[in-house]
Amino acid sequence: MSQIPFYFAVLVGIFPILSLKFKKKEISSDTYFIEPFLWLIILSDLYELIVTRQLKFSSELWFRSYLLLEFSTLFYFFRKLLKGNYKAFLISYGILYLMAFITSLFFWNEWDKLKTDSFLSVLEIIFVYCSSILWFKDIFMELQEKSLLSVSVFYFLSGFILYFSGTIFLFLVSDQIKKHNLGFEAYWNLNIFFNIVLRFLLIIGIWKGCKK
């Protein structure tokens, strides 16, 4: 796997949380809902740098744990963002994902772990799409914002949608790519690319979230 894109992604991943802390007193409350996700980015990068690359430990269990942690931070973000609305949807989907995650543990083995991970990724992207649509619906109904380009959350959601849309194909076919030796590392670089795009949009969103 190419080293330069990875280390560039790690470098960019530091700036969202630094920006949030640097602009702490100026940032709107909606912008702060993204903080747990930003800390997860740091944790993920540290694990990859230290545990996987330096200590040479397998990353398979971490990827499985990361899926649950990522969904949890996204669930927190959208629950806060939707301001107590759509509780039935949020609770139902949270239970559905948790049940799917627990069930997948019984089928996650040496031969089909990528396939079960891709199933969880599909559930996650559906959650992001549905929650984003609900937020856009509320925004357009309230008509409080002159332009979405001035709203920090718009950049967060754009980053999520681009990232998950760009990587979902990779997760869906990753099992076949690895099994048939079709150049898995080259495909995985797409994941790094979309990670970089997401992190830049998070930075933009945070700076847009500063109170005027």
39, 33, 42: which is closest to 77 by C-alpha? 33
Query: pTM of the full predicted structure?
Result: 0.89
Q: Which of 2-6, 24-28, 175-179, 193-197 has the highest mean pLDDT?
A: 193-197
Q: Does any domain span residue 25?
A: no
- 140 is in which domain, residue-wise? 3-20+31-208
CA quadruple 173, 117, 59, 41: dihedral positive or negative? positive
Total domains present in the chain: 1
Q: Does any domain span residue 201?
A: yes
Q: Does any domain span residue 187?
A: yes
Q: Does any domain span residue 65?
A: yes
Q: Does any domain span residue 26?
A: no
Tens digit of each residue's pLDDT (9 = 90 or more) over 150-179: 889 999 999 999 999 887 776 666 666 666
State the pLDDT at residue 63.
Answer: 81
